């Protein structure tokens, strides 16, 4: 007799966890049923481990590796950290404040890589590492005129070395802003500087001579000096007379210019055609031909300058045709000497104080630089062909002298009252390259003397500067130390002054 077949047990579901006895039920079980004395917690742990092992046997090997990697790796949160949120917020604010007007200069131009980078890169203040880099040089534009001056990068090594050539401690010059008592020889490295009653001719290596002016009298003083030729020196006096000295023969010429000015002659300027112009405190601008027995040929400034004329400068490459005059009435007049006593070509009225500093550019015939006094403190550059103002730069003190560089597109300014110093400017950007402390009194004048610059101060110090000399040339032929040498090793010209 066949026995009744038994119903096959359903296979256990591997994903369904085994039903475990609760702690209450296990506590009611007799102690004999707990084989080996295993606790309920340990039995539950063993059952859970068995369940996990069966699950891992069912999962593929790749899924198992992913699960293990997820448990062992970093926890990836969907929330952005606070420091990153703040960084993104600052970047968004900076990008929204960028000027949207920057773009191509025309409709045909395309955006460059630098413009695209500037539009998406974070601002400089939010960069962690900022390398200390030198800014790019200022843009230099061609000012025209057919100049041949070398364009400087304005990061060249400008020498600040100076050397006292002569110190007039016994008789310093007259401390007066309106006087012009320093002149450079037209062809040799010789300067003429005036004290109260003496004119000193000095070469960088030696003092040539000291000239006494006996025509001055006891109370008179020298108010202006200028070279009229390679051997003749014109000296303006406080009584309105002009005396001529022959440096080659060391004698005074019998010819003197008198009865023209009623007050001191504060400025003199010579032209290439044997001409000499003089300006005085009586607001008269006179012109003289030194080849004539009666040299005065006319006056041209009556009514066009109302106060003292304190600055005169001829255009260097104009053949003595154009003259610039500056006065204490804040005016600059441009004269065409070929027209005699005709009105000035242009009258420049932008200065607010006396205009003593006048400098024609050697590599641009139409460029004139002018400097104002204490109430103005400005350097202005003009186009003398049209009378148009090109640049106006405010300085720190009154401008007493201006000198253009012949090998660089640079301008040197000398300052007096409030802060005696010299400043080197680039042109046409008029960025300040370097400042030079003079350690002396008011600077009365500055002239170019070969590759060097010479300054004359109110304390009687005649100082030579290597502003325009390349550093290699300045240190090539050092001189032996002297008692008044503040910076030994300054090169000096070897040519001798021969009359």
The per-residue pLDDT for 452 is 87
Upper half-sphere CA count for residue 86 (Cβ side, 13 Å): 4
The predicted pLDDT at position 491 comes to: 41
Tokens 């104080």 belong to which residue?
353
> pLDDT at position 246, please?
92
User: What pLDDT, on a 0 to 100 scale, did the predictor assign at position 193?
Assistant: 93
Nearest Cα to Cα of residue 456 among 158, 236, 212, 224: 224
User: Strand, helix or coil at 219?
Assistant: coil
Under 8 Å between Cβ of 398 and 177: yes
Distances (CA, A) of 253 to 21, 265, 317, 324, 482: 138, 19, 29, 28, 36
CB neighbours of 167 closer than 8 A, spacing ≥ 6?
460, 461, 462, 484
Give me the pLDDT at residue 78, please: 66
pLDDT at 117 (0 to 100): 60
Neighbouring C-alpha atoms within 13 Å toward the C-beta of 69: 6
**Residues 400, 413: Cα–Cα separation, whole Å:** 8
8-18 burial: b if 16+ Cβ within 10 Å, else e: eeeeeeeeeee
The pLDDT score that the predictor gives to residue 120 is 60
The residues of the chain scoring below 70 in pLDDT are 1-38, 53-61, 63-64, 67-68, 70-78, 97-156, 300-302, 318-319, 341, 471-499
Q: Which domains, and CATH codes, for the chain?
A: 173-290+299-465 (2.130.10.10)
Residue (of 261, 228, 260) closest to 247 by Cα position: 228
């Amino acid at each position: 007799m066949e026995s009744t077949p038994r119903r096959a047990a359903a296979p256990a579901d591997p994903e369904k966890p085994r039903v475990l006895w609760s702690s209450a039920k296990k506590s009611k079980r007799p102690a004999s049923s707990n084989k080996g004395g295993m606790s309920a917690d340990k039995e539950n742990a063993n059952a859970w481990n068995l369940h996990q092992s069966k699950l891992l046997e069912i999962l593929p090997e790749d899924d198992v590796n992913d699960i293990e990697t997820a448990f062992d790796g970093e926890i990836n949160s969907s929330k952005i950290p606070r420091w990153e949120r703040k960084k993104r917020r600052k970047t968004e604010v900076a990008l929204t404040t960028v000027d949207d007007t920057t773009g191509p200069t025309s409709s045909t131009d395309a955006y460059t890589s630098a413009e695209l980078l500037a539009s998406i890169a974070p601002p400089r203040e939010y960069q962690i590492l900022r390398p200390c880099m030198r800014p790019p040089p200022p843009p230099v534009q061609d000012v025209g005129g057919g100049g041949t001056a070398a364009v400087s990068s304005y990061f060249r090594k400008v020498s600040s070395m100076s050397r006292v050539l002569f110190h007039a401690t016994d008789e310093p010059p007259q401390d007066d802003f309106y006087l012009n008592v320093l002149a450079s020889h037209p062809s040799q490295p010789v300067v003429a500087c005036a004290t109260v009653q003496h004119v000193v001719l000095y070469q960088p290596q030696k003092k040539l001579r000291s000239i006494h002016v006996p025509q001055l009298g006891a109370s008179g003083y020298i108010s202006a000096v200028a070279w009229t030729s390679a051997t003749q020196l014109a000296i303006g006096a406080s009584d309105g007379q002009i005396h001529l000295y022959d440096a080659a023969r060391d004698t005074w010429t019998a010819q003197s210019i008198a009865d023209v000015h009623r007050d001191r002659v504060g400025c003199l300027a010579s032209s290439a055609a044997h001409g000499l112009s003089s300006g005085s405190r009586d607001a008269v601008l006179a012109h003289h031909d030194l080849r004539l027995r009666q040299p005065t040929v006319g006056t041209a400034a009556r009514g066009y300058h109302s106060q003292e004329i304190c600055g005169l400068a001829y255009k260097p490459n104009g053949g003595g045709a154009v003259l610039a005059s500056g006065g204490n009435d804040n005016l600059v007049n441009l004269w065409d000497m070929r027209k005699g006593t005709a009105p000035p070509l242009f009258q420049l009225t932008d200065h607010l104080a006396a205009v003593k500093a006048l400098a024609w550019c050697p590599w641009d015939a139409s460029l004139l630089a002018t400097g104002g006094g204490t109430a103005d403190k400005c350097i202005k550059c003009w186009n003398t062909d049209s009378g148009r103002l090109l640049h106006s730069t405010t300085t720190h003190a009154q401008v007493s002298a201006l000198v253009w560089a012949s090998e660089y597109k640079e301008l040197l300014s000398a300052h007096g009252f409030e802060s005696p110093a010299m400043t080197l400017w680039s042109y046409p950007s008029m960025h300040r390259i370097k400042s030079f402390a003079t350690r002396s009194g008011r600077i009365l004048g500055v002239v170019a003397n070969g590759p060097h610059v010479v300054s004359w101060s109110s304390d009687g110090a005649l100082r030579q500067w290597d502003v325009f000399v390349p550093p290699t040339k300045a240190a090539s032929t050092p001189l032996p130390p002297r008692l008044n040498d503040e910076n030994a090793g300054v090169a000096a010209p070897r040519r001798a002054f021969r009359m």
